[in-house]
């Protein structure tokens, strides 16, 4: 249908304010935002909106295909895609409910469908625009079947928008344009995805009864890890499980680990990913009742490899703090955990947790030979719970609560004691040797080389102190030491402000600032300086600690050691050995300041044996060695020798014995 032209006029102040407020509403693709126009403005009845009716599904044929897919270990399919080309310029209906609003609507009907979700293959909403998808007989903004609203904040570089499901077979696509929006922008509905298997609907067709809801007491020790796991759809038709995973920047980058076999073309399919957080039963044992309201849409591909069956994507929007997501820690060591826990969405239903109390086995996929090609971990059987199709890609945790792999496949089910196999994070770390086939570049972007990394909770006030090493100073007894200083950075790696305090354990150290507040995702530099009180310290190593305390919750509180080495005011030979020696002698000269020293070796007759010449010296320790040869490289006879050193206006002597 051709698009009508509406005359634009200057807005009244009140309407301009209303539209400004509309464009400032938070992004709905991350689970919150404005409501459809139909709830606020008088629009024509739904019966007047043009209908696109999908083709009927052959349920028997789909069931046969799904059985074959499951036997082949392919991902869980819940919907069938129907390609379309529907745009505001070529279909639907336009109307103008007010002088300052234009609305386009298109109705989608799929008789008997359990759900509908849509793929906009071109979507660049102009400022102030609002795109909504909702049941045609919408029952208000909180309709439990799903009300999905998007704004220009949901535009992404890949130019696509894939929606979460609406649990209805008759939906409206509604586009609101403010008076000032340009007519020329891309919006094309390219895929209508018709749900024929249950996803968030009633209690029929649910996962096996042996599954353990994560809300049950068995999950109490794993609450933080549970919050990292999500169920997701690809191209509106396939479903799998995956988990947010932390990286060494600890910047809450929304990296998501899943299985390669869930979609072996994720390098192009990532924009179509829609993930659902917190889809879990509200009551232990219910195996249902979960909400699909917490979602986000769209991702970019990072890495994949079929050998260990991993895929890593990164969502193209930051995590919504209201969803309470965490980013799981990981362990890339070459170990077989002595026990494991799996957190997953069986049949992609509400989130469950499973326990294996026996050791895993390093092996080849679907075999028992160990180590085999060593790219999988075999879970012999689950002592509590199980896995099912749809659990694919879910994380496997070791006793330290760190991810060691993701589910590839296996034979486990309610009622049997059969095995599952998980692709090893150890193998995925190096992958096939390139950034797009390995995890290393993404999980350790700063190149720390660490083998384990803890979970990150962006919503919890947590601090990180860098560097991890202590401070070491040196000086001369009685001298001015106030120029000695170092610094640490305290980073707030959460989204909420934290209060901090820095306390040296001794009076001769000063922290600046000693306390303060750090906004979310920000840093502060703290100077640790030696003060005038150090002038009374004795020679030797004086030690202290500096405590960095997170006053808002305590996470990340830590301390760092400080050592102040003070030298006496005159030079001395601090060490000489071994004595006697048979092959090599080493001596250490302590000097009060930089300069030069002259070292020689004499025999007991006073004859020169070795002249080391004049050497540059530093304040503190200076080390030199002798291999029992003279200046011409000739070996010396056994006996007693004299070390003679001229330094800082003094001559130092020490004797030693050569006993080859």
Find all residues with CB under 8 Å of 482, minimum gap 6, and list them.
529, 530, 531, 532, 534
Q: What CA–CA distance (Å, rounded) separates 503 from 363?
A: 50
**CATH no. for residue 471?**
2.60.40.10
Mean pLDDT across 535-563: 91
The answer as to whether 615 is a domain residue is yes
Query: Who wins on pLDDT, 347 or 215?
Result: 215
Least confident piece of the model among 7-21, 267-281, 542-556: 7-21
The answer as to whether 288 is a domain residue is yes
281 catalytic per annotation:
no
Domain boundary among 567, 582, 606: 567
Query: Who wins on pLDDT, 525 or 31?
Result: 525
Mean pLDDT across 110-137: 96
Q: What CA–CA distance (Å, rounded) separates 126 from 187?
A: 10
Q: Is the pLDDT of residue 17 over 50?
A: no
Dump pLDDT digits (tens) for 124-159.
999 999 999 999 999 999 999 999 999 999 999 999
Same domain, yes or no: 434 and 476: no
Q: What CA–CA distance (Å, rounded) separates 439 from 437?
A: 7
Dump pLDDT digits (tens) for 228-254.
999 999 999 999 999 999 999 888 999
What is the SS3 assignment for 218? helix
Q: What is the pLDDT of residue 594?
A: 82
Query: Who wins on pLDDT, 243 or 204?
Result: 243
How many Cα atoms within 13 Å fall on the side-chain side of residue 592? 14
The answer as to whether 2 is a domain residue is no
Same domain, yes or no: 351 and 374: yes
Q: What CA–CA distance (Å, rounded) separates 281 from 203?
A: 11
Dump pLDDT digits (tens) for 600-644.
999 999 999 999 999 999 888 899 999 999 999 999 999 999 999
Same domain, yes or no: 106 and 188: yes
Give the distance from CA 10 to its chain's centroid.
Answer: 47
Same domain, yes or no: 539 and 473: yes
| Structure tokens that stand for 347 in this block | 């049949």
Same domain, yes or no: 256 and 167: no
Q: Is the pLDDT of residue 20 over 60?
A: no
Give the distance from CA 559 to its chain's centroid.
Answer: 25
Q: Is the pLDDT of residue 22 over 80?
A: no
DSSP bridge pairs for 308: none
Same domain, yes or no: 558 and 579: no
The answer as to whether 3 is a domain residue is no
Dump pLDDT digits (tens) for 65-104.
999 988 888 888 999 999 999 999 999 999 999 999 999 9
Q: Which residue in 154, 309, 331, 457 is the catalytic one?
A: 309
Q: What CA–CA distance (Å, rounded) separates 144 from 134?
A: 10
The answer as to whether 218 is a domain residue is yes
Domain that includes residue 115, residue range: 13-195
| Structure tokens that stand for 606 in this block | 């006073």
209 catalytic per annotation:
no
Q: Total structural domains in the chain?
A: 4
Q: What is the pLDDT of residue 31?
A: 41
Q: Is the pLDDT of residue 529 over 50?
A: yes
Q: Is the pLDDT of residue 209 over 90?
A: no
Q: Are strands 509-512 and 558-567 parallel, antiparallel or unpaired?
A: unpaired
317 catalytic per annotation:
no
| Structure tokens that stand for 195 in this block | 């749900």
Report the chain's mean pLDDT, rounded to a whole number.
91
Q: Is the pLDDT of residue 491 over 70?
A: yes
pTM: 0.72
Q: Considering just the CA atoms, what is the radius of gyration of the chain in Å? A: 34
Same domain, yes or no: 478 and 551: yes
DSSP annotation string for 241-295: EEEEB--TT-S---EEEE-GGG-TTHHHHGGG-EEEES---SSTT--------SE
Sign of CA dihedral 451, 219, 78, 76: positive
Q: What is the pLDDT of residue 207?
A: 64
- Is residue 501 within 8 A of residue 512, CB to CB? The reply is no
**CATH no. for residue 628?**
2.60.40.4070
The answer as to whether 372 is a domain residue is yes
Mean pLDDT across 320-329: 94
The answer as to whether 524 is a domain residue is yes
Q: Which residue in 101, 260, 261, 345 is the catalytic one?
A: 261
| Structure tokens that stand for 149 in this block | 């609203």
Q: Is the pLDDT of residue 597 over 60?
A: yes
In sequence order, which ranges of 27-132 are alpha helices (DSSP H)?
59-71
Same domain, yes or no: 131 and 173: yes
Same domain, yes or no: 219 and 368: yes
**CATH no. for residue 266?**
2.40.10.10
Q: What CA–CA distance (Å, rounded) separates 103 from 659?
A: 100
Q: What is the pLDDT of residue 33?
A: 62
Q: What is the pLDDT of residue 15?
A: 35
Domain boundary among 426, 453, 480: 453
The answer as to whether 202 is a domain residue is no
Q: Is the pLDDT of residue 1 over 50?
A: no
Dihedral, CA of residue 84, residue 85, residue 89 and residue 90, to nearest 10: -70
Domain boundary among 423, 453, 483: 453
Q: What is the pLDDT of residue 348?
A: 85
In sequence order, which ranges of 123-241 are alpha helices (DSSP H)?
223-226
Report which of 117, 185, 190, 118 is spatially closest to residue 155, judged by C-alpha positions.
185
Q: Are strands 229-234 and 274-277 parallel, antiparallel or unpaired?
A: antiparallel
Same domain, yes or no: 311 and 378: yes
Same domain, yes or no: 297 and 225: yes
Same domain, yes or no: 188 and 226: no
Mean pLDDT across 500-518: 97
């Amino acid at each position: 249908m051709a698009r009508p032209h509406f005359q634009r006029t200057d807005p009244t102040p009140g309407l301009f304010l209303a539209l400004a407020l509309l464009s400032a509403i938070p992004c709905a693709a991350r689970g919150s935002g404005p409501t459809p126009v139909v709830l606020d403005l008088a629009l024509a009845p739904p019966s007047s909106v043009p209908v696109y009716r999908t083709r009927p599904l052959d349920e028997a044929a789909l069931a046969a295909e799904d059985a074959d897919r499951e036997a082949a270990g392919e991902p869980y399919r819940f919907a069938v895609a129907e390609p379309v080309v529907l745009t505001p310029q070529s279909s639907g209906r336009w109307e103008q409910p007010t002088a300052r609003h234009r609305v386009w609507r298109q109705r989608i009907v799929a008789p008997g469908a359990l759900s509908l979700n849509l793929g906009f293959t071109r979507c660049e909403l102009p400022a102030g625009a609002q795109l909504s998808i909702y049941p045609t007989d919408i029952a208000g903004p909180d309709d439990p079947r799903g009300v999905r609203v998007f704004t220009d904040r949901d535009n992404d570089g890949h130019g696509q928008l894939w929606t979460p499901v609406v649990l209805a077979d008759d939906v409206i696509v509604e586009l609101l344009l403010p008076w000032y929006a340009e007519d020329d922008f891309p919006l094309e509905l390219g895929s209508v995805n018709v749900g024929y298997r249950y996803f968030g609907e009633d209690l029929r067709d649910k996962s096996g009864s042996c599954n353990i809801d994560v809300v049950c007491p068995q999950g109490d020790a794993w609450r933080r890890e549970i919050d990292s796991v999500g169920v997701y759809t690809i191209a509106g038709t396939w479903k799998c499980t995956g988990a947010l995973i932390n990286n060494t920047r600890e910047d809450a980058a929304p990296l998501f680990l899943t299985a390669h076999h869930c979609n072996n073309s994720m390098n192009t399919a990532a924009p179509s990913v829609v993930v659902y957080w917190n889809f879990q039963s509200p009551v232990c044992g219910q195996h249902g009742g979960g909400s699909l309201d917490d979602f986000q849409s769209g991702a970019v591909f990072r890495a994949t490899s079929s050998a260990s069956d991993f895929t890593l994507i990164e969502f193209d929007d930051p995590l919504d703090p209201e969803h309470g997501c965490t980013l799981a820690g990981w362990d890339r060591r070459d170990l077989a955990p002595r026990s494991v826990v799996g957190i997953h969405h069986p049949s992609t239903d509400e989130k469950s947790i499973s326990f294996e109390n026996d050791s895993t086995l390093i092996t080849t996929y679907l075999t028992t030979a160990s180590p085999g090609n060593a790219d999988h971990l075999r879970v012999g059987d689950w002592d509590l719970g199980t896995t099912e199709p749809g659990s694919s890609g879910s994380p496997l945790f070791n006793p330290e609560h760190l991810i060691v792999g993701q589910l590839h496949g296996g034979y486990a089910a309610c009622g049997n004691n059969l095995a599952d196999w998980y692709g090893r994070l150890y193998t995925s770390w190096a992958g096939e040797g390139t950034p797009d086939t390995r995890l290393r570049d993404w999980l350790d972007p700063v190149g720390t080389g660490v083998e384990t990394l803890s979970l990150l909770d962006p919503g919890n006030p947590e601090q990180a102190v860098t560097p991890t090493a202590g401070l070491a100073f040196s000086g001369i007894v009685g001298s001015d030491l106030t120029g000695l200083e170092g610094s640490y950075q305290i980073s707030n790696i959460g989204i909420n402000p934290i209060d901090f305090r820095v306390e040296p354990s001794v009076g001769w150290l000063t922290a600046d600032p000693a306390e303060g507040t750090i906004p979310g995702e920000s840093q502060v530099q703290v100077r640790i300086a030696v003060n005038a009180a150090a002038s009374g310290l004795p020679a030797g190593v004086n030690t202290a600690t500096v405590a960095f305390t997170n006053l808002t919750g305590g996470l990340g509180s830590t301390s760092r050691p400080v050592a102040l080495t003070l030298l006496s005011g005159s030079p001395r030979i601090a060490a000489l050995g071994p004595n006697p020696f048979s092959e090599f002698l080493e001596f250490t000269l302590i000097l009060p300041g930089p300069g030069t020293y002259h070292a020689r070796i004499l025999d007991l007759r006073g004859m020169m044996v070795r002249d080391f010449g004049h050497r540059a010296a530093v304040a503190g320790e200076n080390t030199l060695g002798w291999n029992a040869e003279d200046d011409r490289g000739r070996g010396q006879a056994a006996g007693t020798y004299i070390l003679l050193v001229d330094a800082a206006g003094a001559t130092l002597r020490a004797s030693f014995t050569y006993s080859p």
